[in-house]
Chains A and B, each alone.
Chain A
């Protein structure tokens, strides 16, 4: 009944041993939250105090892990955490599973779910923790995992892994807590590509070259980040190869390289200008120009592709002002997406192909909107203050990262396709912009 998984982290490999805890007669719960549909409901969750024995709180790694899980769950807009002070009788339990768990105090506090943590051999370095999730009203077991070899350094990874499993159990969508963002950081004319976990962990710089990086895009296979790079005299396609940890600049005739974006097959589309207007070209796997994807007597920039690669959203000035368009490669047709307003740009199509997020100029500044391609309606999902721009759909088609100056400087935030409360992604000192998701 037990399975052993190896857990691969998107930035560095972590080898934690994870045991899935299953209980006879206790099946996995069905999806509890429909994060994709309208009227997404809220889940209220309470954390029991971590225990080393019945009634014995785990105060070392146990406390750290509970804090890390709470920090992670705060990124989920559909999750409402019940503070321990709201639980009458406290959160220290006499059991971590079974009939001895006092679910009633958590029911009274309004919690739908309860998380228990048990450290059977204490919560010292290199110990094991069992994490379990129950429905408070039925006492039903939702899922559980045991993690061995837990150290201080691994606590955040255990929290991420557990929260990824929890989100998958509740919503059916997995990957947010193990995903990474490539983004641009720096000031003035020196800006480089950095990567960070969506939760703000594992921040690191991956390029360090004179000039300004823009528009990073992470290859679906995770190997490359491409970006446009501008120094005093040239535009180039920057290519960071994660395998060799090297960066190269690829020049093109016309000296214009704007907004590269990977297709699902790991090829790149980018706007180049070779005497005609900036048009969108497909590059081959050696990053050389192969053929045009979209040409017209107007500016064509900012391509974005769905997971099938048959739909491309882009910005074009063919009607005068910048507007968002959609090209369907299966029919060759181009249709206008943004109907309202005089300045709509930076489209990002959701991998599931149902929504296009884009930046609209409104009377109060740039804001992020999503266009629903099924209903044809548009919904505002960011509300400032300041300037909100550069939306990027996560691989789960649920989260949307974007850049905002709401705190003064340019920083990266997360919201959802429904416009959930925006959460800041910590990226350290310096301006941060152009978020792009990797897996």
Chain B
């Protein structure tokens, strides 16, 4: 919320300055303001992108509900994406190796869409989010056993533009 407030303040100041400077300069100044919501260094965006990527959401077997323990993490991602509108994220839904492939593709879609819809509700513009299901095509960890499977039932957050 803090970043939103400062963004609004910059907008108000810029518009006030533009109007005060007279009609001849108005267009140019307004144009300058709009594409630069906040002054941010590329390293700050990189850090935000890294933070968005790092947090993985894990699921129970054959489930696609976002567990309570991941809601704070998704909220942090949402705030960062609102702070940096140039960031675009592809939410990638994945399954463990146990199910059959077509059903797993659908399950992966549900997992990706669950996170997508949650982040939309948190105010992230839809234009900043893509989803894809890889089903069980792209395991994070190879092998068998619940410890491995649990690591593969997940949403990855892949920053595709910043």
Give Cα A277–Cα B133 distance, bound, in whole angstroms: 13
Q: Per a CB cutoff under 8 Å, which of B100, B105, B106, B107 touches A366?
A: B100
Looking at A167-175, A229-237, A283-291, A393-401, the stretch in contact with chain B turns out to be A229-237
**B110 near A: Cβ within 8 Å?**
yes
Contact of A212 among B62, B132, B133, B137 (CB under 8 A): B137
In the complex, the chain B residue whose C-beta lies closest to that of A343 is: B99
Judge whether B106 and A230 touch: CB under 8 Å.
no
Q: Which of A235, A275, A277, A301 has the most CB of B within 10 A?
A: A301
Shortest C-beta distance, B131 to chain A (Å), equals 6
Chain B nearest CB from A252 CB (Å) reads: 12
Q: Which of A295-317 contact B (CB under 8 A)?
A: 299, 301-302, 315, 317
Residues of chain A at interface, number, CB under 8 A: 33
Report the interface size for chain B: residues with CB under 8 A from the other chain: 23
Whether A126 is near chain B, meaning CB under 8 Å from some CB there, is no
Q: Are A321 and B102 in contact (CB under 8 A)?
A: no
| Chain A interface helix/strand/loop/mixed | strand
Partner among B99, B101, B113 whose Cβ is within 8 Å of the Cβ of A273: B113
Q: A255-B132, A321-B62 are in contact. Are A233 and B160 (CB under 8 A)?
A: yes
- If A235-B132, A255-B131 touch, whether A345 touches B103 (CB-CB below 8 Å) is yes
* A163 on the B face (CB < 8 A): no
Q: Mark B130-161, 1 if CB is under 8 A from A, else 0.
A: 11111101100000000000000000000010
- Residues in chain A near residue B135, CB distance under 8 A: 230
- CB contact under 8 A between A258 and B106, given known A230-B134, A233-B90, A235-B133: yes
On whether A299 and B103 interact (CB within 8 A), knowing A212-B137, A233-B90, A273-B109, the answer reads yes
Output the residue of B101, B109, B138, B160 with the most chain A CB within 10 A: B101
Closest to B137 in A: A212
Q: State whether A299 touches B106 (Cβ < 8 A).
A: yes
Q: Give chain A nearest CB distance to B161 CB in angstroms.
A: 12
Chain B's nearest CB lies how many Å from the CB of A229? Answer: 12
A361-B99 Cα distance, complex, nearest whole Å: 9
Decide if B100 touches A346 in the complex (CB within 8 Å): yes
B101 neighbours in A (Cβ, 8 Å): 214-215, 390
The answer to whether B106 touches A301, judged by C-beta atoms less than 8 angstroms apart, is yes
Q: A residues within 8 Å of B by Cβ?
A: 189, 212, 214-215, 228, 230, 233-235, 255-256, 258-259, 271, 273, 275, 277-278, 299, 301-302, 315, 317, 321-322, 343, 345-346, 359, 361, 366, 389-390
Could you jot down 15 A-B contacts, CB within 8 Å?
A230-B105, A230-B132, A230-B134, A233-B130, A233-B160, A235-B133, A273-B113, A277-B106, A299-B110, A301-B102, A301-B105, A317-B62, A322-B103, A345-B99, A345-B103
Contact residues of B with A, CB < 8 Å? 62, 90, 98-103, 105-107, 109-110, 113, 130-135, 137-138, 160
